[in-house]
Amino acid sequence: MTTTALDLAHAYATGDTCPIKVLDTLYEHIDDAPNAFISLTKELAYAQAQSAKIRWQRGNPLSIFDGIPIAYKDLFDVKHTITTAGAKLRVHAPPATQDAHVVSTLHHMGLTCVGKTNLSEFAYSGLGLNPHFGTPTNFTNPDHVAGGSSSGSATVVGHGIVPLAMGTDTAGSIRIPASFNGLVGFRASRQRYDKQGVFPLADSLDTLGPIAHDVIDCLLIDELLHHQPCLDWLNDDHPTRLAQSHALPTLVFDPAIVALADDDVQACFHEWVQTLTKAGFYIKAETITALHDTLACINEQWLGSAEAYTLHEELLHSPQADELDRRVRTRLMLAKDIKASTQIRLYARRAVYQQALMHKLGNRLFIMPTVRHTAPVLAKLEADDNYFAHINAQTLNLTMIGSFLDMPTLSLPIGTDAQGLPIGASVAGVTGSDRQVLMSGHVIQTYLS
């Protein structure tokens, strides 16, 4: 399956295929993405797919995505399954007694849960390595990482096993794997979706979102999570008409932020900007002080470090700590001596920078490269922990800006580097502007296609 969720919905509506046939094909090809799944939910999936098949045959689907297969990062509780959070020491944890709120909502919209995907242990890395369950690799080049922490979610979408996967994002964990794999990823504002039943990392930063092949599927997941069935999207001309009914967004980039990226990434980004300009988009280069202040703050001390350490403090000082990924354990322990006063000042600075950004950006959207570089080579990261730590910090550097400021962000594929590795660009707004970001992403995608 290499189609979008919306294309698949059209095929259900016309009878060209059905949810059961799609599942059969999906599970036949599950090994196309090695190490991508931690657990499969075949019995649940087939029960949901059979019900969806009947509804489509009767012409009364629950939503546009009734019977569409979806995978969930193994931080989301799915009833009767264990949520491992990518940690070996949780494989014997009690199964979830109920679905996470997001899972429940999408199940009520008819989506079919096929399994739970792999991730960096406790979601605490931007590279996606996992020594316990194996490391999912980049679907465009398996010698390179998929990116993290939502590595499995990106890999299963990239390989076309599912058209949609849900991830989490604390410092870049949706946007990075989307960028590395040439996919679309949406980091929602923190309050956009209910996080009940999702294993946390840093509560003041954690958020959720989908990874998909195009913006429309992300936009529709957002609608479904707000209980809109969106059946009007079955009209062939609806996506184009919707895009044409919206004004072109005004876009802003900061040259100094772009200059932090590698040469290939910069060149690809500027070419994309030129393409957008030729298509009629108004794009302005500006210095945005709030972003530079935020980056300086991040380089001094990451806001989520103390929260992550506090969450796992008891474990880190127990004999079970020896079972952790040594790289994750080392990074968590780096935060053990952060003072409460330091953390409080970080929260205060965030509020100031958010207000400054709202004043400067207004209704405009900010664009930048999603990651400073393309996907690094897996073997080098596995062989050298110091190199891993250095590259992990570089990988997270730009995405942390949006996380700190709670900017809803779409990562869009915009090209490749000299090796053919994908490059992504981010389209972001001020906190709470999720709908604007998603619609603008749809407009951009429509005009550039």
Which residues carry out catalysis?
Answer: 73, 149, 173
Cα dist from 54 to 24, 50, 59, 109, 162, whole Å:
17, 6, 9, 14, 21
CB 253 within 8 A of CB 273: yes
For residue 285, what are the β-bridge partners? 253
Helix (H, G, I), strand (E, B) or coil at 67: coil
The count of residues in the chain is 449
For residue 123, what are the β-bridge partners? none
Cα dist from 380 to 14, 33, 250, 421, whole Å:
48, 21, 41, 17
Q: Is 383 exposed, middle or buried (0-12, 13-18, 19+ CB in 10 A)?
A: exposed
Helix (H, G, I), strand (E, B) or coil at 397: coil
What CA–CA distance (Å, rounded) separates 437 from 193?
15
Which region holds residue 321: left if phi is over 0, alpha if psi is between -120 and 50, else beta? alpha
Contacting residues for 315 by C-beta, under 8 A, at least 6 apart: 89, 321, 324
Contacting residues for 238 by C-beta, under 8 A, at least 6 apart: 232
Q: 3-state secondary structure string, 340-369?
A: HHHHHHHHHHHHHHHHHHHHHHCCCEEEEE
